[in-house]
Amino acid sequence: MALHAEASRGAAGRLRLACSLVCCFLLDLCSGNLNLYLSQPEVRRLLGLEAELFYVRDGMVNTYALNFVVPVHPGIESLHFTWQSLAGRPLPYEVSVWASDLEALWPPQLNISARGEVPTYAQTWRVTLPCTGRADAEVDVALSVNVTLHRATNNITSLLFRRRKICRKGDPESQQPSVVVDAAAAVSEATPTLVFYVALGCACALIVIVLLAVAGCYLRTSKARRHGHILQESRHGSASSSAAGHASLLPPPPPPARATSAASSNSYASLRTSAGPLPAPGAAAQPPTDIHERIAQLTIQRCRVRLRSVVLEGTFGRVYRGSYTHEDGVEEEVLVKTVTDHASQVQVSLLLQEGMAMYGFSHKNILSVLGVSIEDHTSPFLIYPYHGYTNLKRFLQKCKLCPEGVAHTLTTQEVVDMALQIVAAVQFLHKKRLVHRDLAARNCVVDERLHVQLTDCALSRDLFPADYHCLGDNENRPVKWLAIESLLHNSYSPASDVWAFGVLLWELTTLAQQPYAEIDPFEMAAYLSDGFRLVQPVNCPDELFGVMAYCWAMSPDERPTFSQLQVCLQDFYTQLTRYV
C-alpha cells in the first residue's frame, strides 16, 4: 500500500509538472515575443518620413511592410535595424545577407555574428553596403533573418528584407570593406594622439563627401529639368531606357532560394501583382505576370501625353484629364494618374504596383490601365481610357448636395442596377484569382448613363484620406470597409470582398455617407465582434438591406458568394421593373 501511495504521489507530481510546462508554453505562444523595427532617425534617413517602421510588433509580422523594396541612396552606406526579445529571455537567431552584383558592391558586412541571440533590451545593429565605385548599378540586396521563438516546437519567424542599393561609378565614398575593418582595428590600438588625428581626418573626409553628394544631386536635378520633358526616341527605345532608369521603383526579381521567407509569401501587395494567367484584351495570347514585363509592354512616350485639367488632387497624387496621340496621329481622351515631385519612392512604387494590378483584364465593367510612362527624372504616368465618367463617390456626394432639380436623384432600381454591374466586375476578378481588397465607391467610376466600372485603388489613400486609417502598424487601410477577419488577422479572400461589397451597397443607398462615422477606427474590431453593424438607411427597402446584412455575417463561410448575390439582386431588380 505504501508503494502504491508513493507511486500515486509521484504520478500526480509528474502530472502537475506537465501541466505547468504546458501552461508556460501556451503563455509563451500567446504573448508578444519580438519587436523588430526601424527607428525614427533611420526612417527619416531612408524615406524622409517622421515615423517608426515596425516589421514585427509584439510578435505580429507586418507582411505589408516587408513587401516593399526600399531604395538605398548612393550616399547611404549602412542600414540600421533595432530588435528586442519580449519573451523574458534571449531568442536564438540566424542572419545572412546576399547581393546580386559584387562588381558594383563589396560583399555586405554585418556588425553582429551570423548566429546569436536577440537580447531582452533594444539593440541596434548594422548592415554595411559599400559600393566599389567601378560601375553604375542598382544592386538587389536580400537580408534574411530567422528568429527561433520556441525550440521545442521549432517555432521560427522568418523575415526577408529587400533593399536596392544604388551605386555610381567613381563615387569617392566607395572603398573596400577590409580597409574599414583594418582602420578600426588600428584606431583601437593607437595612442590618444593618433586617435585624434584619425578622427579629424575622418571628419574632413565626411565633409568632402557630403559636399560632393550635394553637388552631384544638384547637377543631376538641373539636367533633368532642362531635358526631362520631351524625349525624341522610338517606342522600343523609350521602353528599355525607362525600365532601366526606374528599376528602383519596381519590385525586384525573385531572390535566390537561400533568401526566401515564409513571412512574405502572403503579402498584401504581392496578391495585387500576381494574379496568375491574364487574358490580353481581344487576343488569345496571355500578357506577362511580372510587373517589369508588364510595364515594358505598356510603356508609351511621354511626349505623346498632354495634360489638360486636374480632376482630383491629394497631398502627393493627382488625377488629370488629358489626351494621348497615337502613332497614326489619332488623339484619344485619357485620364492620367501621377504623383507630385515631393512624393517618396515608396509612394511611386505603390502607384505602379496598384495601378498595374488589373492590367490585361477585358470586361465592360472594369477600367484597366491603358499605358504607362516612366522616364528618367520624371514622375511616372498611368494612363486610362476616358469616356466622360466621374468618380462614383464624388458623383453620389453631388447627388446629395446639389439643389433639387439640378442633381440626379437615384431610384432604387438604378441603385440595384449599379450594384449588379459591380457584382459582375468582381465575379470576373475572382475567376482570374484576384481579390480586390478595397471595394468601395471611391474605387469605381460612373458615366452619365450610370454605366459603372470598377478600378484599381492607386492613389486612393491620398485622394480620400478620410477613408483610410493606420492602427499603429504603419499601414493605411480602409478600416471601415474591412471584414472582421481582415481587421483581426489581416486575412483576405473572396469572402472579405463580399463584406466590403455590403458596405459599398450601403454607400449607394446613402449617397456616399461615411460608414461608422461615430466609431473610432481603433474600436472597429471590438465593435464588429460584439455584433454591431451599419444601420438600415432611410428609404432603403428591407429586401436590399437584407442583402447587406447577409454580407456582414461573422463567419466568412456564412456569407453569400458573388454568384448568389447576383441572383438575389437580379430577382429584386426584376420585381422592381414590374411596377415601372
pLDDT band, very low/low/confident/very high, at 199 (cuts 50, 70, 90): low
Tallying the residues shown for the chain, one arrives at 580
Task: Work out the average pLDDT over 199-224.
Answer: 48
Task: Work out the average pLDDT over 508-520.
Answer: 94
What does the domain layout of the chain look like in residue ranges?
Answer: 1-27, 34-186, 269-386, 390-580
pLDDT in tens, 33-74: 899 999 988 888 877 777 788 899 888 888 767 877 888 888
Task: Find residue 346's DSSP bridge partners.
Answer: none
Task: Give the three cell numbers for residue 575.
Answer: 420585381
| Gap between the Cα atoms of 463 and 438, Å rounded | 14
More confident residue, 194 or 381: 381
Residue 224, classified by CB atoms within 10 Å of its CB into exposed (0-12), middle (13-18) or buried (19+), is: middle
235 has pLDDT over 90 = no
pLDDT value of position 450: 95
pLDDT value of position 143: 92
Is the domain spanning 269-386 CATH 3.40.1180.10? The answer is: no
pLDDT value of position 13: 52
Q: Which helix (H) or strand (E) holds 2?
A: helix 2-30
More confident residue, 533 or 270: 533
Amino acid identity of residue 176, one-letter, is Q
More confident residue, 212 or 53: 53
| Gap between the Cα atoms of 97 and 9, Å rounded | 54
Give, rounded to a whole angstrom, the gap between the first and last alpha carbons of the chain. Answer: 92
pLDDT value of position 104: 86
- Cα–Cα distance list, 156 to 66, 92, 261, 264 (Å): 17, 10, 11, 14
* CATH (residue range 390-580): 1.10.510.10
* CA nearest neighbour of 280 among 371, 355, 359: 359
Task: Work out the average pLDDT over 148-156.
Answer: 77
370 has pLDDT over 80 = yes
Single pTM value for the model: 0.53
Sheet (strand 60-61) strand order: 60-61, 53-57, 34-38, 78-85, 123-128, 109-110
* Residues 6 or more apart in contact with residue 455 via CB below 8 angstroms: 358, 366, 367, 384, 443, 444, 445
pLDDT value of position 14: 52
What count of other Cβ atoms lies within 10 Å of the Cβ of residue 258? 9
Task: Give the three cell numbers for residue 425.
Answer: 466586375
Q: Which of 18-22, 187-191, 472-476 has the highest mean pLDDT?
A: 472-476
| Gap between the Cα atoms of 457 and 443, Å rounded | 6
Contact 114, 94 (CB under 8 A): yes
Name the packing angle between helices 291-298 and 345-355 (round to 10°). 80
Instruction: Could you list the beta-strand ranges (E) of 86-202.
Output: 91-99, 109-110, 115-118, 123-128, 137-150, 155-167
pLDDT in tens, 284-320: 334 445 556 666 667 888 888 889 899 998 888 999 9
- When mean pLDDT is compared across 8-17, 156-165, 210-219, 482-491, the lowest value belongs to 210-219
The three-state secondary structure class of 518 is: coil
Task: Work out the average pLDDT over 163-183.
Answer: 59
Residue 317, classified by CB atoms within 10 Å of its CB into exposed (0-12), middle (13-18) or buried (19+), is: buried
Q: Which helix (H) or strand (E) holds 322?
A: strand 317-325
The three-state secondary structure class of 367 is: coil
DSSP states of 266-314 as a string?
T-HHHHHH-----PPTTSSSPPPSSHHHHHHHHB--GGGEEEEEEEEE-
pLDDT value of position 209: 55
Task: Give the three cell numbers for residue 147.
Answer: 528568429
Task: Give the three cell numbers for residue 244.
Answer: 532601366
Contact 353, 251 (CB under 8 A): yes
Q: Which helix (H) or strand (E) holds 493?
A: none
pLDDT value of position 187: 33
Q: Which helix (H) or strand (E) holds 380?
A: none
pLDDT value of position 203: 56
pLDDT in tens, 422-456: 999 999 999 999 999 999 999 999 999 999 999 99
Q: Could you list the active site residues?
A: 438
Buried b or exposed e, range 363-387, using 16+ CB within 10 angstroms: bebbbbbbbbbbbeebbbbbbbbbe
* Residues 6 or more apart in contact with residue 547 via CB below 8 angstroms: 502, 505, 565, 568, 569, 572
Angle among Cα 150, 152, 157 to the nearest 5 degrees reads 35
* CATH (residue range 34-186): 2.60.40.2170
In percent, the amount of the chain with pLDDT more than 90 equals 41
The three-state secondary structure class of 375 is: coil
pLDDT value of position 181: 36
SS (H, E, C) 393-411: HHHHHHHHHCCCCCCCCCC
